[in-house]
Amino acid sequence: MSTIKEAKLAATAPVPGMNKAFGPLKQADAGVLNIGYAEVGPSNGRLVVLLHGWPYDIHSFVEVVPVLSSAGYRVLVPYLRGYGTTRFLSGETFRNAQQSAVALDIIALMDALRIETAIVAGFDWGARTANVIAALWPQRCRALVAVGGYIITSLQANRQPLPPQAEYGWWYQYYFATERGRLGYSKYTREFNKLIWKLGSPKWAFDDATFDRTADAFDNPDHVDIVIHNYRWRLGLAQGEPRYDDLEQKLSEEPVIRVPTITIGSDFDGPRADGTTYRAKFSGKYSHRILKDIGHNVPQEAPQALAQAVMDAEALAREDSQ
């Protein structure tokens, strides 16, 4: 395991709990989407892209971003397809949420903003997307921060059953596999997602205002279609698009990630929290850290720790380039 010199948090870093919202969002046509995103920090700052998951949104990073921007980073936080102000440019486009399509959205956004490379960090769907970018387009990923470690989906591996306790943890995927589940999620989106927040982060005492701020992102007209397709596709119950077949074939081989990486384990990961099960999937400069008493929404439950991981990942990248 690599050892690195810890980057120090900026002396002017905001007080935790004080930042509640981003300023006006920006929009950019990128690939098949018009993507909504927050951008904070100096225009010439070191670039960081922060990626949220389900059922969360860009506000998971609302306290991470000020720490990074005050340290000189230019930070982009995009809404994934199906969330917030991100919209498909055409009503005819298939509402596809397979992993390669979601990752290409971020590549398209970087292209639209003329960004050659950035530190990419994420959790849940965002960590998977960051993994995919680092694996398939390493030249676009200066360094990686992945909450939960290596979580690239292998459709082949997903055909194999897990022990009952592990299967129990993914109950909602089987619910979404049914038409009853689609109807239920459509009718009770906010209630469902609030339950997932509580189950995923049982020690996080978030209030209604915090949840409601994010829940507005679920009003996106494509949200239900995107969520249902994502989980059905992972179980082999929904088709992706043939144009992504070559990328998915590469991902099914579980490619090793070679860019400098920091992985984070939390209570949500259970026995995987120590990172040993995926250590061999990272061959570059690497560090792993474990956050005790923290659930799934690491950036919102432990914003200082996530910001520190981003800065430490940059230190790994500098070390790697020397």
Give a three-class secondary structure readout of the chain: CCCCCCCCCCCCCCCCCCCCCCCCCEEEEECCEEEEEEEECCCCCEEEEEECCCCCCHHHHCCHHHHHHHCCEEEEEECCCCCCCCEECCCCCCCCCCHHHHHHHHHHHHHHCCCCCEEEEECCHHHHHHHHHHHHCHHHEEEEEEECCCCCCCCCHHHCCCCHHHHHHCHHHHHHCCHHHHHHHHHCHHHHHHHHHHHHCCCCCCCHHHHHHHHHHHHCCCHHHHHHHHHHHHCCCCCCCHHHHHHHHHHHCCCCECCCEEEEEEHHHHHHHHCCCCHHHECCCEEEEEECCCCCCHHHHCHHHHHHHHHHHHHHHHHHHC
How far apart, in whole angstroms, are the C-alpha atoms of residue 61 and residue 307? 9
- Looking at residues 253-271, what average pLDDT do you find? 97
Pairing of the two strands 73-78 and 46-51: parallel
The answer to whether 259 and 318 are in contact (CB under 8 A) is no
3 pLDDT tier (thresholds 50, 70, 90): very low
If you search the block for the tokens 């923290």, which residue do you land on? 294
Pairing of the two strands 141-147 and 73-78: unpaired
- Looking at residues 303-316, what average pLDDT do you find? 98
pLDDT digit string, tens, across residues 62-102: 999 999 999 999 999 999 999 999 999 999 999 999 999 99
Percent of the chain at pLDDT > 70 equals 94
How far apart, in whole angstroms, are the C-alpha atoms of residue 265 and residue 270? 9
How far apart, in whole angstroms, are the C-alpha atoms of residue 243 and residue 304? 40
pLDDT reported for residue 252: 95
pLDDT reported for residue 321: 85
18 pLDDT tier (thresholds 50, 70, 90): low
Instruction: Give the alpha-carbon dihedral of 273, 275, 278, 279, to 10 degrees.
Output: 180
pLDDT digit string, tens, across residues 181-223: 999 999 999 999 999 999 999 999 999 999 999 999 999 999 9
pLDDT digit string, tens, across residues 94-123: 999 999 999 999 999 999 999 999 999 999
How far apart, in whole angstroms, are the C-alpha atoms of residue 123 and residue 151? 10
Q: What is the model's pTM? A: 0.94
